[in-house]
């Protein structure tokens, strides 16, 4: 199983990226928390990988920190939560904040994440509370980096990311327009974070 990849970033989108290693391109699905800290195209990249085995394919999920991967693995251990929903949960809330919410058994806080209803939030809080409370964070979260994309491109990527998270195009666009007014630094990270606050 692939557990780590180091190479160059061949292509990226808010849903998946392609990491080139030794002339081979690996498609890797990443949460937004990892997307925020990706380098520009052709930049060096190193990711912690979870290989999800299906009957018809091997699907790779990548994370910028061990903490993100550990939370991902905790989430997929919960009944009814698959890898794509786990990645979606990490996209909807930062790893450190997510860990605190789970450790506190704060199901209402988890419900603000797109795709997480009351029953699912309560199940996560119930099944993972003790594990999260005793979890030892062994890797610091990396600092956010500023995207070099222009405002127009950042807005397009923000809209795409919000739709991928499960919001309707209408809701996503309305939130993005409000976020554009509120934030001074109109980067992808800033726009997405503010849009999620508005939608929550």
Q: What pLDDT, in 10s, does the model give residues 87-103? A: 999 988 888 888 888 98
Q: Check pLDDT > 90 for residue 156.
A: no
Residue at a domain's end among 42, 63, 84: 63
CB under 8 Å to 140, separation ≥6 — which residues? 65
3-state secondary structure of 157: helix
- Judgement on whether residues 57 and 30 belong to the same structural domain of the protein: yes
Say if residue 77 is in the same domain as residue 126. yes
pLDDT above 50 for 139: no
Q: What is the DSSP letter of 169?
A: H
Model pLDDT, residue 150: 59
On whether both 124 and 158 belong to a single domain, the answer is no
| 145 located within any domain | no
Has residue 137 got a pLDDT over 50? no
* pLDDT at position 2 over 50: yes
Mean pLDDT of the chain: 83
Is 81 contained in some domain? yes
* Per-residue pLDDT, 185: 66
22 in a structural domain: yes
Q: 141 lies in a domain? A: no
Q: Is the dihedral of CA 155, 158, 162, 164 positive or negative?
A: positive
Contact 85, 92 (CB under 8 A): no
User: Quick one: pLDDT at residue 80?
Assistant: 86
**Chain centre distance of CA 185:** 21
Q: What is the pLDDT of residue 136?
A: 46
pLDDT-derived band at 5 (thresholds 50, 70, 90) equals very high
Compare 184 and 40 and report the one with higher pLDDT: 40
Q: Would the pTM count as exceeding 0.85?
A: no
Average pLDDT over residues 40-57: 89
- Looking at the fold, whether 52 and 98 belong to one and the same domain comes out as no
Residue 63 confidence (pLDDT) above 90: yes
3-class SS letters over the chain: CCCEEEEEEEEECCCEEEEEECCEEEEEECCHHHHCCCCCCCCEEEEEEEEEECCCCEEEEEECCHHHHHHHHHHHCCCCCCHHHHHHHHHHCCHHHHHHHHHCCCHHHHCCCCCCCHHHHHHHHHHHHHHHHCCCCCCCCCCCCCCCCCHHHHHHHHHHHHHHCCCCHHHHHHHHHHHHHHCCCCCHHHHHHHHHHHHC
* Domain edge (last residue) among 103, 133, 163: 133
The residue range of the domain holding 121 is 66-133
Lowest-confidence region among 72-76, 119-123, 194-198: 194-198
The verdict on 70 and 59 lying in the same domain is no
Q: What is the mean pLDDT of residues 137-148?
A: 39
Q: 20: closest CA among 11, 7, 37, 30?
A: 7
Q: By CB neighbour count within 10 A (0-12 exposed, 13-18 middle, 19+ buried), where does 99 fall? A: buried
């Amino acid at each position: 199983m692939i557990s780590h990849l180091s190479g160059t970033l061949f292509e990226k989108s808010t849903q998946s990226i392609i990491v080139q290693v030794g002339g081979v391109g690996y498609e890797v699905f990443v949460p937004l928390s990892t997307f925020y800290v990706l380098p520009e195209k052709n930049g060096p990249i190193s990711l912690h990988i979870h290989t999800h085995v299906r009957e018809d394919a091997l699907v790779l999920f990548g994370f910028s920190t061990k903490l993100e991967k550990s939370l991902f693995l905790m989430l997929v251990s919960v009944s009814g939560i698959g890898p794509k929903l786990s990645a979606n949960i990490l996209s909807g809330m930062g790893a450190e904040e997510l860990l605190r919410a789970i450790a506190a058994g704060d199901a209402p806080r988890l419900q603000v994440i797109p795709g997480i209803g009351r029953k699912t939030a309560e199940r996560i809080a119930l099944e993972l509370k003790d594990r999260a409370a005793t979890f030892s964070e062994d890797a610091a979260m990396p600092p956010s980096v500023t995207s070099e994309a222009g405002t127009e491109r950042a807005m397009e990527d923000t809209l795409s990311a919000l739709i991928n998270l499960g919001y309707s195009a209408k809701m996503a666009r309305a939130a993005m327009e409000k976020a554009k007014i509120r934030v001074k630094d109109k980067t992808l990270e800033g726009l997405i974070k503010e849009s999620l606050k508005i939608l929550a």
